[in-house]
Chains A and B, each alone.
Chain A
Amino acid sequence: MCTVCGCGTASVEGHEHSHDHDHHHHPEGGDLHFGHGPAGVEVPGMSQDRLIEIETDILAKNDRYADANRATLTALGAFAVNMVSSPGSGKTTLLCKTIEALGDQPLAVIEGDQQTANDADRIRATGAVAVQVNTGKGCHLDGHMVGHAMEHLDLAEHSILFIENVGNLVCPAAFDLGEDCKVAILSVTEGEDKPLKYPDMFTASRLALLNKVDLAPHCDVDLDLYEKNLRRVNPGIEVIRVSARTGEGMENWLNWLRSSLQRKQGSLAAE
């Protein structure tokens, strides 16, 4: 074997040198080809490195897992929301209240956090099925994690699947989980300029829930400006003002969920 580049056609015993130059005799199927470089010809003294065109998304592998999750959800006629927010926006409380209000609607929850099963425990206390995914050092859920979590859920037909992502307004924007849409939750205490500071997440979301509106009078927040800033980064975003604590606006959110599920089932039936 050639000790220079490891190809199997030449033997150069005891011949060793460093690898800091180019070689141009790469065997394919035992034959030697010299015209497979980018130029298609052998030019003495010139590099004959090959160029492999890939044109593949860096997150292609994640997207394949996400597509598989989407297919599973479609087969069940289930609707999945990827709930994204900063830590402390009130996602889990909102989710608990939502589950209680949805009554006998089949549903399940995937809880993403770096550590602890606290949130899944809170969800299970409502009687709903929940799986906790701990990402360890990871800052987001990915398609692979969600696929495994779905295996544990035994999702019923026509369910709503809530995926509560890791509290983080940056990374989860880029990772498709196979969901039907992202829903961003913001609390009024976070400041009206939050959408401008983290535009990507709000651009990627179909709906923004402006949570904790009961606190608005206590924290000098301009809710209209909040909505204006949301539309600045995503002119098509829907906004619902809610308070999980007082129940204000919850009916609008529940109707949004029910009609989204119906719309998905309608479009599946039409296919």
Chain B
Amino acid sequence: MHEMSLCEGIRQVIEDQSRAHNVRAVKRVRIEIGQFSGVEKPALEFAFDVVMRGSVAEGAALEMIDLPGKAMCYDCMKEVEIDDRLAPCPDCGGGKLMPVSGDEMRIKDLEVV
């Protein structure tokens, strides 16, 4: 996708927070990635190491927390959890599903010194 741009976004948030909290170094960054966010995790990991060089988060560990994908089934009108964007409704087998969550790309917290 655009993992490099995402890491630039992560770096900006980290730098803003580090200034605000007098942080000297970030040891660990925890991010939440939704099932439907389109993020390629190995690519994000690679880009993270590259983009954080020269910042307070250089060498920091990146921990990714998976969030489930949820969709509204237009056939049975229930909110269901699905693993795959094109999976049918696990309840009624319907094929008209509108994602309602799972597109998250969020920085949860930072472990800092």
Contact = CB atoms under 8 A, between A and B. Distances in A.
Nearest to A137: B4
Interface stretch (A53-61, A249-257, A258-266): A53-61
B22 to A, nearest CB: 7
Contact of A170 (B1, B85, B103): B1
Contacts of A59: 6, 9, 105
B31 interface: yes
Interface in B46-74: 74
A53 B32 CA distance: 13
A62 B9 contact: yes
A60 B112 contact: no
Interface residues of B, number: 37
Given A54-B17, A60-B13, A174-B2, A200 B113 contact: no
Chain A facing B: main interface SS:
mixed
A196 interface: yes
Interface residues of A, number: 38
Contact of A235 (B1, B21, B96, B108): B96
Interface of A: 5-6, 22-23, 26, 28, 49-62, 138-140, 142, 170-171, 173-174, 196, 199-200, 203, 231-236
18 contacts: A6-B24, A22-B113, A50-B21, A54-B108, A55-B106, A56-B106, A57-B106, A58-B10, A58-B31, A58-B105, A59-B6, A60-B13, A140-B2, A171-B5, A174-B1, A174-B38, A196-B86, A199-B85
